[in-house]
Structure 1
Amino acid sequence: MTIKELKENPVKLLDDDWALVSAGTPEKWNTLTVSWGGIGELWGRDVAFIFIRPQRYTKKFIDEQDYFTISFFDPEYKDMLRLCGRISGRD
């Protein structure tokens, strides 16, 4: 999907509804809740960027891979996203 195909406002999605970022391999992966980042266009290319603290467990998975996934959910799932923000795959 390209950014131009988004039907929702990406600022609202990240700021109000949050998202999950996932990275890794089929054998070992992790996900975390994010609300800091952006989606747009840079030099004619669609881009997405996120900010993750260095101590977060998922950061190493993102750093080791070429790609990561940003998943958005309906507001009714916010409690589940909050849970993903509290529990670490490290534990």
Structure 2
Amino acid sequence: MKFNENLETAMEHLHKRGAFLTVKSGDKSNTMTISWGSVGFMWKKPVFMALVRPSRYTYDLIENSDSFTVSIPYDDNMKKALTICGTKSGRDIDKCAEANIEFISSKEVSSPVVDNCNMYYECKILYKQAMDPALILDDSVEECYKGDNYHTLYYGEIVACYEK
């Protein structure tokens, strides 16, 4: 399917309910809940831009990976799993067991997807950029951090996009 098919629905669910950002590095995989991200077209490629703070376990993995996936559920069946994956660290718990989720192989990249979601984006990392707080021009953006780490932005070419 084209990366922009049903994009409005996917972005609405990402923002309002959350999605799973999943990364595999070596033999370790981890997922975390995200509600920020964007899809666009850059460098003649469809791109998903995901944000990860350096304090997150997923950051340790994505820094040593060439890919990530985004799995977006459209209903409330994954609400508890999204809460667990957004509040607990993969450093401390087995998220798959605790959240009752299962990773399944993706079609094009090494990072897996989360089973039983509705929309999937598989992304090959093209570029990353740590945020520079000196370049923030709007105070309302700064309010999102309040002493927490700034994100690193990961731009991933969408190499596969599909619905369940």
Provide, for residues 2-41 of structure 1, a one-character-per-residue CA deviation record: whole Å limited to 9, x for no partner: 313x324143132112110111147211110001111111
Provide, for residues 36-78 of structure 1, a one-character-per-residue CA deviation record: whole Å limited to 9, x for no partner: 1111111321000111111000111111111011111123122
Same amino acid, percent of matched pairs: 34
- Structure 1, unpaired ranges of 5+: none
Structure 1 distance, partners of 2:42, 2:80, is 33
* CA RMSD, Structure 1 to Structure 2 (Å): 1.7
TM-score, normalization by structure 1: 0.85
Closer, same or farther: CA 26–71 of 1 in aligned 2, 3 Å: farther
TM-score, normalization by structure 2: 0.50
- Which secondary structure state, in structure 1, belongs to the residue aligned with residue 63 of structure 2? helix
Q: 1:68 aligns to what?
A: 68
What is the total number of aligned residue pairs between the two structures? 90
Give the number of the structure with larger relative contact order, counting CA–CA contacts within 8 Å between residues 6 or more apart: 1
Deviates more, 1:49-58 or 1:7-16: 7-16
Whether contact under 8 Å (1:2, 1:46) holds in the other structure is no
Question: AA paired with 1:39?
Answer: V
Q: Which has the higher helix share?
A: 1
Whether contact under 8 Å (1:20, 1:32) holds in the other structure is yes
- Counting only pairs closer than 5 Å after superposition, residues 1-91 of structure 1 correspond to structure 2 as 1-4=1-4, 6-9=5-8, 10-25=10-25, 27-76=27-76, 77-91=78-92
Q: Which has the higher strand share?
A: 2
Structure 1 distance, partners of 2:26, 2:72, is 21
- Structure 2, unpaired ranges of 5+: 93-164
Q: List 4+ stretches of structure 1 deviating above 2 A.
A: none
Whether contact under 8 Å (1:14, 1:38) holds in the other structure is no
Kindly name which structure, 1 or 2, has the bigger radius of gyration based on alpha carbons: 2
Whether contact under 8 Å (1:18, 1:35) holds in the other structure is yes
Structure 2 distance, partners of 1:85, 1:57, is 12
